[in-house]
Chains A and B, each alone.
Chain A
């Protein structure tokens, strides 16, 4: 596991908001106890006790400004912690809190009403609770709202890409260790973080295919690398003994793209178009089962695309609320409908396999995506005004 800890150090260096701590004993807030009953000792410090069934946030109200949430996972499933503004706009989030671990999340929260959520198993709406932030509310002007939108989405890209690195590392390690069953489990999970932010990755043209090309995408004689090469070996040839170099290259490519993605300046238009592109991905690749033709884990990618699209849209929410409240209402409805339809296919902490879905079930998924993607395509001209 030395590679993991090396990566951990690297990640800490890169982290701006979500500081990973190696174990619970090292966290400064551990004395608060993980049961969520103790009152934070310092202003702006909030303990969160997460388990498989509970999400105990020590306080229901904080002051406007910077708050640090210290989340301890006392459960048996990997969890995530989110602070949502209305409409599930991600204000701050931390991924991949493995059982026994404590992680800090620093969030900048203006006065308003929010929701906290733990997501044991990393699926679904999560365990929600209200959070009130009090203090002076300073309204932002239009430019500041747009700037905040991109800043908010950049925070999302940052946390997703950090976790992508960790999960890709884990996947690569198991592939190189020849652990086929474990690697099959990790395959759709590591891809989740990739699929949530893929439009940002696609800005860097040649790296996207190196990471995510499907066999059918290749020209004759072209070298095939990335997730799907390993997928075929895991599910079809059942021989990953020669995949070490492919795995190493996958990790190297992911590292490069994560660095580039985080260094890229994004515009509100990037967000709007990215949200649409993610749903295009769903429509063309996931509903047809072409994305993961051997593992049939397309619904993991589907869920991730939908989550990523929502994150981008909701980053723009304050702007949209001002410029087109009717569209916000439509988007809320259509996102909810898409999530509900997808939710019918949840199976444990994962999803049904694509080849287990009937044509009628796939058509319903296609319908909710079409219904959502049309209003999403109306966002770009509104934020471009």
Chain B
């Protein structure tokens, strides 16, 4: 069967002119006639799917998120690895602006249900990245993976004040879809969920509509729903040493299959927006330790001025979370604002879907969050309602490789 024309080929080629610099990097895939686009400032282009690391981690944070956690329902290992291969093939297509399946949304026989759901027809790749991770619950006796659970994938401790809802926490496998167009992110998750029917079931999913962190110095710092710039001092892809030392797992960490991967922690943090909004500006700024307009640290003028912790309140958010308070522990955050409508009590059901990547949560997320959970005055306005932790394997090398191959080898 001949390949149906890409839904976004025209867009992709158009964008290629904008980003010709990226062409060389993916020349190996020119056989596939895919749009060679790598450009942070283009919101329509495509990021390479294949590589040493998974895309969607240091990739400059896109504007929209659809995050999903699956439970595996099949008990057959070969069905699970078969699904990961199917997913990888679909992800390789989707991230390049193509349909999920070979015949596509409209290219198949009229009697058949199309192998792509179609809502992204005519839309460009929109910077879509798909990033997979494996939760601790996958490492039980169902698939013989118990011995391969990385030490760094230790269960999180209980943090004071958290009110976790089990139904929207955890999961065997997660997929993070980030894109500049929400329709493209939702389309990707929907098609992966469809491919997974009978093998996995969606445990929970979350939409996010505005990035709350920058992962590149080329990006401006966005604001969270409390109105503050978030992630000014986030780990950025340009921070070579930090990225090497604190983001990517290495074989010597204990789990060789995770070499080049990273550990993901998600926290759904509900904000009681209404009470926050009634809080005085001074108190808001004291709580964060930054000024609201510029984002400058307390006592400084500009956002990126060096932080003077002594100028902040002892329990200011920035001070509590600062690397110097935690043996220089950094996180790569790429969270999203969310609004799930209203809560039935006339209040916004809104907050932050926190996402952080790191080399070892035991030395990074856990001490930082424990300190915040115990001391942060922000806790009066927020509540952690969901939690997830996933081991995200290294990148897919080429069309013969698949998500998690090293784990199942």
Contact = CB atoms under 8 A, between A and B. Distances in A.
Q: Do A and B bind each other?
A: yes
Interface string A361-385: 0010001001111110110110010
B198 interface: yes
A334 interface: yes
A19 interface: no
B299 interface: no
Nearest to A272: B111
A341 B118 CA distance: 32
Contacts of B108: 381
B113 A377 contact: yes
B111 A334 contact: no
A342 B279 CA distance: 53
Interface in B160-208: 194, 197-199, 201
A384 B198 contact: no
A374 B109 contact: no
Q: How large is the interface on A (under 10, 10 to 19, 20 to 34, 35 or more residues)?
A: 10 to 19
B201 A380 contact: no
Interface of A (DSSP majority class): helix
A269 B113 CA distance: 13
A380 B73 contact: no
Contacts of A380: 111-113
B197 A370 contact: yes
B198 A381 contact: no
Contact residues of B: prevailing secondary structure: loop
B113 A371 contact: no
Contacts of A367: 73, 197-198, 201
A374 B201 contact: no
Given A363-B201, A367-B73, A378 B194 contact: no
A334 B198 contact: yes
Interface string B108-126: 1101110000000000000
A249 B194 CA distance: 42
A381 B201 CA distance: 26
A173 B88 CA distance: 60
A272 B111 CA distance: 10
Contacts of B109: 381, 384
A384 B197 contact: no
- CB-based closest 9 A-B pairs: A371-B198, A381-B112, A384-B111, A377-B113, A370-B197, A380-B111, A381-B109, A367-B201, A381-B111
26 contacts: A272-B111, A334-B198, A363-B201, A367-B73, A367-B198, A367-B201, A370-B197, A370-B198, A370-B201, A371-B197, A371-B198, A371-B199, A372-B198, A373-B197, A374-B194, A374-B198, A377-B112, A378-B112, A380-B111, A380-B112, A380-B113, A381-B108, A381-B109, A381-B111, A381-B112, A384-B111
Interface of A: 269, 272, 334, 363, 367, 370-375, 377-378, 380-381, 384
Interface of B: 73, 108-109, 111-113, 194, 197-199, 201
